Structure 1
Amino acid sequence: MTSCLLLLCALGLAVAVPVPRALNRATWPDRTPVLGLWVWQCLVATALLSCVTVLVLGTAAIFRTVRDHLFGSAPPGVVAAYQPTSAPAWATALVLLTAAGAAWTVAVLAGQLRAVRRARAAARVRLRERAPELPAGLPAARGPLLVLEEEHADAWWMPGDPSRLVVTTGALRRLTDRQLDAVLAHERGHARARHDWLLHLSAALAVGFPKVPLFTHFCEQTHRLVELDADDTAARQCGHVTTALALIELNQHRGIRSRASSRRLLDDRVNRLLTPPPTLEPRQRTRIAAAAALAPLLPLLITFAPGIDALD
């Protein structure tokens, strides 16, 4: 069991530090944003599973009661494979550390969920103030698209029940019909892929663990890749140049007020649309997707390997 704990710790550290730093420097996710998002999610799942398995095995190594409950119905050989000769002193510290991390993760995610619900409720209140509901008895409902009176060109998707696509009159005046279709396709791409929950998850982990490269890079890359993915959705429907021009029109009023990172991302998005990079070959995409999908299985394989070996 001691060797399992050490291997799981090594795997968790590798996934938390050097692997995300290498992936953060890679350029291929910009070519296939959906695959990049998949790989980041698999890395996060691998790290979290490593921590969970360390917590379970470490607790079993320290407390005989837990060990009896876990392996009570297992064959004698399997029980012997997980029987520690003596619980090392560092195992107790490791269990306490991972238990604290697990509790903090749950607290951070719960806090993020509450914050999202409050923010959505506040946004809907503001929306009702700017665009009050139609009186009862009128035949037409507002539907999924809502137009707000606003000088600046803007459009966004408001998730929830019901979800809304919101566009300002400034956007209707500045954008051509084709550009408006591209903007709406972009926002519908966010809605169909449920990018909002992925953004909330990455933000919560980055805030909760700001010193862990995996979570900070996951948050940064998620914000980037979801926009590239939605841009691709719009470009496939309305054309790359049309989508790039729509992005420029929507962001002209922001100018120097926007953050440097936002301006840099906008420049990258426009350049990417005007000069689309070659996508990965199907064989490359398959290999990367399969390798990423297998990564979360590594903690489980390390955990169950002694028991499987004992059954042979």
Structure 2
Amino acid sequence: MTALLFGILTIALVGPIPAALARANWPLYAPRAAMTLWQSIALAAVLSAFSTGLAIAANLLAPGPDGTPTNNPIEEFHRLGWFLWSAYVLVFVLTLLVGARLMYTVLRVAIRTRARRNAHRQMIDLVDSVEHRRHGDRSTRDLRILDVPTPLAYCLPGLRSRVVLSEGVLTRLDDRQLTAVIEHERAHLRARHDLVLEAFIALHEAFPRFVRSQSALGAVELLAEALADDQAARATCPTTVGRALVACADATAPRGAMAVGGPTTLVRVRRLGHRTPQRGIAATAYLLAAAILVVPTLAVAIPWLTELSRLLTHA
């Protein structure tokens, strides 16, 4: 029964719930709460998937005729029969493999992304047009200006973060719009949105194509941009940010960086025109995020762990 409940929860968390959330409009107007909810769903889905496999494999420790768990493989084989014993062992091995693949993917994405950023950072520092920056000025110390006509506006997160702009962007923006773009990119750097996106990229790459969905990653990327837009709007005003976004809509960025423009520009500009506090929706989203993690743990995981502890105690 525990495995069934965890299985149903896993299917819901990787299928209909993310699909419904990705189609909803309210997350754009409570982006911080929606980001928290997305992270809660992703974490709960991973934990539920592992719990499903472990709950099925725990049948290998079920009590034998004398009431004690049969932790001897030969006794388990005779008690369960070859079919059930093989099925439980297979589920346990698959669970371990999924966990190993997930950890490997997280490490691979982290190492690959940081190596790419470090190489790009070194190149940017070499070709930076230093005459555009005042040496020793803290407000421009992280800025790098590229003397190219192609529109570029992005940030490179990390311990030595950079905000990169090109001459092609500088010629399009006035001073206030330039301030909005810089504040947008610095908001990404302060909030470390790159770490959140890395986690979702790792989850996306860890699972086969017929299982994974692009909706979660795309929705979280849009929310990260919305949060950065809000910070830029506080530093300037929504109208200025909207005009800057339109001017930089075709701005590009290398892989591993976070660009101010992109295909979501129109959605974000429309959002800035109707940006009002949604405290009720945000509070509801925070409660849902907590419930998705806490309620299944209390209702399902604790009884299962209690039973497993009892079995191991009598071993």
TM-score by length of 2: 0.78
Contact 2:145-2:165 at 8 Å conserved across structures: yes
- Letter matched to residue 182 of structure 1: A
Root-mean-square deviation over aligned CA pairs: 3.2
C-alpha distance in 2, partners of 1:242/1:159? Answer: 24
- Letter matched to residue 187 of structure 1: E
- Letter matched to residue 114 of structure 1: I
Q: Does 1:270 align with 2:234?
A: no
Residues 201-229 of structure 1 show CA distances to partners (whole Å, capped at 9, x for unaligned) of 2122212223335x532111111111111
**Which range moves more in the overlay, 34-43 or 165-174?**
165-174
The equivalent residue for 1:249 is 247
Contact 1:31-1:277 at 8 Å conserved across structures: yes
The equivalent residue for 1:165 is 163
Q: Spell out the pairing of 1:132-171 with structure 2 (5 A cutoff).
A: 140=136, 143-171=141-169
- Quickly say closer, same or farther: Cα 1:298–1:185, change in 2 above 3 A: same
Q: Spell out the pairing of 1:282-301 with structure 2 (5 A cutoff).
A: 282-301=279-298
C-alpha distance in 2, partners of 1:6/1:181? Answer: 54
Contact 1:62-1:91 at 8 Å conserved across structures: yes
Q: Does 1:127 align with 2:124?
A: yes
The equivalent residue for 2:4 is 6
C-alpha distance in 2, partners of 1:86/1:133? Answer: 73
- Quickly say closer, same or farther: Cα 1:132–1:171, change in 2 above 3 A: closer
- Quickly say closer, same or farther: Cα 1:91–1:9, change in 2 above 3 A: farther
Instruction: Determine which of 223, 228, 231 is the counterpart of 1:230.
Output: 228
- Quickly say closer, same or farther: Cα 1:108–1:167, change in 2 above 3 A: same
- Count of residue pairs the alignment pairs up: 281
- Letter matched to residue 91 of structure 1: Y
- Name the SS for the 1:251 alignment partner: coil
- Name the SS for the 1:219 alignment partner: helix
C-alpha distance in 1, partners of 2:233/2:9? Answer: 39
C-alpha distance in 2, partners of 1:298/1:108? Answer: 29
- Letter matched to residue 154 of structure 2: W
Instruction: Determine which of 24, 47, 50 is the counterpart of 1:49.
Output: 47
Contact 2:35-2:223 at 8 Å conserved across structures: yes
C-alpha distance in 2, partners of 1:238/1:99? Answer: 50
Q: Identity of aligned pairs, percent? A: 28
Q: Does 1:114 align with 2:87?
A: no
- Quickly say closer, same or farther: Cα 1:115–1:271, change in 2 above 3 A: same
C-alpha distance in 2, partners of 1:277/1:133? Answer: 37
Deviation of the 1:170 alpha carbon: 3.1
Structure 2: gaps of 5 or more residues = 70-75, 253-260, 311-315
Structure 1: gaps of 5 or more residues = 68-76, 255-261
Instruction: Determine which of 173, 176, 190 is the counterpart of 1:175.
Output: 173
Residues 125-145 of structure 1 show CA distances to partners (whole Å, capped at 9, x for unaligned) of 3213313999xxxx7487222
The equivalent residue for 2:16 is 18
Contact 2:177-2:240 at 8 Å conserved across structures: yes
C-alpha distance in 1, partners of 2:29/2:119? Answer: 37
Q: Does 1:98 align with 2:85?
A: no
Deviation of the 1:155 alpha carbon: 2.1
Q: Spell out the pairing of 1:210-229 with structure 2 (5 A cutoff).
A: 210-213=209-212, 215-229=213-227
C-alpha distance in 1, partners of 2:250/2:109? Answer: 32
- Quickly say closer, same or farther: Cα 1:133–1:239, change in 2 above 3 A: closer
C-alpha distance in 2, partners of 1:7/1:59? Answer: 15
TM-score by length of 1: 0.78
Q: Spell out the pairing of 1:63-78 with structure 2 (5 A cutoff).
A: none
- Quickly say closer, same or farther: Cα 1:6–1:159, change in 2 above 3 A: same
- Letter matched to residue 35 of structure 1: A
C-alpha distance in 1, partners of 2:215/2:251? Answer: 29
- Quickly say closer, same or farther: Cα 1:216–1:94, change in 2 above 3 A: farther
The equivalent residue for 1:196 is 194
Higher RCO, 1 or 2 (CA under 8 Å, sep at least 6)? 1
